[in-house]
């Protein structure tokens, strides 16, 4: 029965891609369900496995090394699909790795190194929990953050009902900010985004104090340990790439800061894995001409953005586009892939 289903899937995929002859890079972040996810970074393990089954059946998924060879050959790009993951979350090791291995699908993991082996969350995950999910908050938010006065009256939303928490968990950035907690979250997010790591942590200290917690611990939001990252890098299926040390908005900083963030990240990964790190992904896709110059100077042969399109043969190899994959069921995923590969 299973074999018959796989054969039907393979036949369907061949027909599906017969006239779709593009090269596509897919971008994932997390393979997990449950956390607050305002930026739609999470794909459930169930949906991810169904997506992998379909991708496997196409016969088009290739490794990063093959992709690089195709790009530099100067010849017409063959239809292909490349799998990438950003940030270095623990769930990449716990959930993505075994499923990729199960189906023999190669992938590249772009790793931020600041939190590898630590018990710390990325600020955007912790902020979402503290503002959108904490049951009781002070009614008035009245703080100065980085010299910017921010005042919010949460009114009755200071006490979060289960209905409000459920709504906030279902909310994402593409939807209007329909309650005070979401509005407060977005305002703080805007202030935090262009800051350096230390500046972000200073503000997060203020947010923790406002929420009435001294420390926030949510293990599911942690990054991989050094041992887990090393095990991931030792697999012939997987490639490790750079993604800066602390995931800053690179375009908010001068050249020397961008250089330090990218170089430190590259050196850490090369020292740990004993491998040459020659691919890079810009955090949140943010980059400018200075960023590209730095990446080129540091010897990266490929660098990836978050621009939504397919790969062109004559495109900039340091500005390669990718498509973010959302938590789509198999029917929706097939529909999306059909559009993306046209």
**What's the pLDDT tens digit per position in 143-153?**
999 888 999 99
Half-sphere exposure of 211 (CA within 13 A, CB side): 24
Query: Residue 242's Cα: distance from chain center in Å?
Result: 13
320 neighbors 304 (Cβ within 8 angstroms):
yes
Query: Residue 26's Cα: distance from chain center in Å?
Result: 11
pLDDT at 11: 59
pLDDT at 192: 97
Stretches in the chain below the pLDDT threshold 50: none
**What's the pLDDT tens digit per position in 257-312?**
999 999 999 999 999 999 999 999 999 999 999 999 999 999 999 999 999 998 99
- Cα–Cα distances (Å) from 28 to 83, 84, 289, 306, 325, in that order, read 8, 6, 25, 11, 6
3-class secondary structure, 269: helix
E strands, 209-325, in order: 238-242, 279-281, 302-304, 323-324
Total number of residues shown for the chain: 342
- Whole-angstrom Cα distance, residue 160 to residue 130? 12
pLDDT at 76: 87
Positive or negative, the CA dihedral 89, 334, 316, 287 is: negative
Q: State pTM to two decimals.
A: 0.93
pLDDT at 7: 62
In the chain, CATH 3.20.20.370 covers: 2-118+222-340
pLDDT at 193: 97
164 neighbors 137 (Cβ within 8 angstroms):
no
pLDDT at 127: 96
Buried b (16+ CB within 10 A) or exposed e, 115-128: bbeeebbbbbbbbb
The pairing of strands 140-145 and 107-111 is unpaired
pLDDT at 167: 96
pLDDT at 41: 97
Q: Which of 322, 267, 260, 317 lies closest to 294, judged by CA? A: 260
Any idea which architecture 2-118+222-340 has in CATH? Answer: Alpha-Beta Barrel (3.20)
112 neighbors 244 (Cβ within 8 angstroms):
yes
DSSP state letter for 116: T
């Amino acid at each position: 029965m299973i074999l018959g289903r796989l054969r039907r899937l393979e036949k369907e995929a061949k027909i599906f891609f017969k006239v779709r002859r593009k090269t596509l890079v897919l971008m994932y972040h997390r393979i997990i369900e449950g956390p607050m996810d305002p930026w739609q970074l999470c794909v459930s393990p169930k949906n991810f496995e169904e997506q992998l089954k379909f991708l496997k059946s196409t016969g088009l998924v290739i490794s990063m090394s093959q992709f690089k060879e195709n790009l530099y050959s100067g010849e017409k790009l063959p239809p292909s699909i490349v799998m990438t993951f950003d940030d270095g979350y623990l769930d990449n090791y716990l959930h993505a790795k075994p499923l990729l291995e199960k189906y023999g699908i190669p992938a590249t993991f772009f790793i931020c190194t600041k939190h590898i082996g630590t018990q710390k969350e990325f600020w955007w995950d912790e902020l979402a929990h503290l503002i959108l999910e904490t049951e009781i908050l002070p009614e008035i938010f009245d703080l100065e953050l980085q010299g910017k006065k921010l005042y919010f009256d949460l009114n009755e939303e200071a006490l979060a009902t289960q209905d409000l928490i459920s709504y906030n968990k279902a909310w994402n950035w593409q939807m209007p900010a329909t309650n005070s907690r979401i509005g407060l979250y977005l305002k703080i997010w805007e202030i935090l985004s262009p800051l350096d790591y230390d500046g972000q942590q200073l503000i997060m200290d203020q947010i923790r104090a406002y929420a009435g917690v001294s420390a926030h611990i949510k293990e599911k939001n942690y990054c991989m340990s050094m041992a887990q990252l090393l095990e991931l890098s030792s697999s012939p299926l997987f490639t490790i790439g750079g993604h800066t040390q602390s995931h800053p908005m690179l375009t908010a900083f001068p050249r020397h800061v961008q250089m330090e963030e990218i170089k430190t990240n590259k050196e850490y990964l090369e020292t740990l894995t004993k491998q040459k790190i020659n691919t890079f992904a810009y955090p949140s896709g943010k980059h400018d001409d200075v960023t590209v110059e730095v990446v080129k100077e540091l010897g990266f042969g490929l660098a990836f953005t978050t621009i939504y399109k397919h790969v062109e043969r004559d495109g900039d190899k340091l500005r390669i586009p990718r498509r973010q994959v959302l938590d789509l069921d198999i029917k929706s995923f097939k529909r999306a892939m059909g559009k993306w590969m046209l």
